[in-house]
Amino acid sequence: MVTVQKNVCAPQTGEAKTETRPALVPGEEIENPADLLQAYSELRGRFQRTTNALASAAHDLKTPLAIMNGYVELLQSEKLGALNARQREILLDMQSSGKRLQTFIQDFLTYSALETGGLNMQFAVGNINECLSDVCRLWSLRFQEKGLALYFLANDKLPLFPFDSPKLERVISNLLENSFKFIPQGGTVWLHAEPHMWERRAAAQPASDGERRRQDTTQPNSVKVSVSDTGPGIPPEFQLEVFDDFFRLPGNESQEGMGLGLAIVRRLVNGMGGKIWVESEPGAGCKFSFLIPFKPVPNSPSKGKSR
């Protein structure tokens, strides 16, 4: 039997009969599923507006920063007059600070584009060895200046295949920068790539014996790229969180950056149909590895904490 209870508080004549939910209070427990959905929608909308506003502000900073960097380079060229040693030192500090700010702005613009779905993958057949070598060449001088060794040996077994070269360069550059920031002087970084057989079958849905026989498990179907270093390592409890947005390891809060480098890496790798993980032990360095299929299977860049 269903009992229907009439509402004793009838609306006055002429009033619209509307139902409004109470405003959501931070920290308040939500029991009604409809209220939970509303809370998620409000939170998502608020986050989207904040991301767009900050991205707009970051974009507006690009032009004045570029102008400032241009003037610094002009002064360093001494075309406007000779400089003394102290002036050169100040200009070098200004140039270094300008480049750091430029990196922060670019990181946030990339993150914003990935978060809002505004960064599309552009696949073209290329040589991944050349791509990795170009990135190493860009970083080699900075590694030498800090007293670090950077090693990369091309792998002739890797075929030509379609990938997004600029995005892959960004992934490698972010991983090298991560090692560069944390390993001490005298440390070593290795960049390695090799063909890999990636079984992408879901663990929850194992293939039958017939399916296994039909699968060609002898031919590589992806490339595995690794960046290993002799740094301090990452504790096991943080080896998933390091890929989260704005995350920094405890004790590293004073390091430069916004904690977006590895989050951008994860989104870009996922966007190319790949996956990324880290292997590490405290005090024994770490090894970041990712897979990219030879046949593009582009995904929407993942958001939040999804893996």
Tens of pLDDT, residue by residue over 18-68, are 444 555 555 556 567 777 888 878 877 776 677 667 767 766 776 788 888
What CATH architecture is 34-115?
Orthogonal Bundle (1.10)
- Angle formed by the axes of helices 128-146 and 165-182, to 10°? 20
**Confidence at residue 17, expressed as pLDDT on a 0 to 100 scale:** 47
**Confidence at residue 193, expressed as pLDDT on a 0 to 100 scale:** 97
Name the percent of the chain lying above pLDDT 70. 76
Burial of 242 (0-12, 13-18, 19+ CB in 10 A): buried
Q: What is the CATH number of domain 124-200+219-293?
A: 3.30.565.10
**Confidence at residue 188, expressed as pLDDT on a 0 to 100 scale:** 96
Half-sphere exposure of 216 (CA within 13 A, CB side): 4
* Residue 102 · residue 65 · CB < 8 Å: yes
- Alpha carbons 11 and 17: distance in angstroms, whole number: 7
Is the Cα dihedral 266, 269, 274, 279 positive or negative? negative
Which regions of the chain carry the CATH code 3.30.565.10?
Answer: 124-200+219-293
- Specify the 3-state DSSP secondary structure of 164: coil
Letter string b/e over residues 272-304, b meaning 16 or more CB atoms within 10 A of that residue's CB: bbbbbebebeeeebbbbbbbbbbeeeeeebbbe
* Identity at 287, one-letter amino acid code: K
Which regions of the chain carry the CATH code 1.10.287?
Answer: 34-115
Mean pLDDT of all residues in 258-262? 83
The answer to whether the pTM exceeds 0.85 is no
- Specify the 3-state DSSP secondary structure of 249: coil
Query: Mapped to the 3 state alphabet, what secondary structure does 43-58 carry?
Result: HHHHHHHHHHHHHHHH
**Confidence at residue 215, expressed as pLDDT on a 0 to 100 scale:** 53
Closest CA relative to residue 242, chosen from 187, 192, 287? 287
Q: Of all helices (H) and strands (E), which one includes residue 74? A: helix 33-76
Comparing 30 with 163, the larger pLDDT belongs to: 163
**Confidence at residue 29, expressed as pLDDT on a 0 to 100 scale:** 61
**Confidence at residue 216, expressed as pLDDT on a 0 to 100 scale:** 57
pLDDT tens digit string along 92-125? 888 888 877 877 777 777 777 777 777 788 999 9
pLDDT grade for 203, boundaries at 50, 70 and 90: very low
Q: Which residues pair with 189 in a beta bridge?
A: 150, 229
* pLDDT of 154 above 80: yes
* Residue 288 · residue 226 · CB < 8 Å: yes
Burial of 222 (0-12, 13-18, 19+ CB in 10 A): buried
**Confidence at residue 12, expressed as pLDDT on a 0 to 100 scale:** 45
Strands 149-152 and 188-196: parallel
Lowest mean pLDDT among 161-165, 172-176, 205-209, 267-271: 205-209
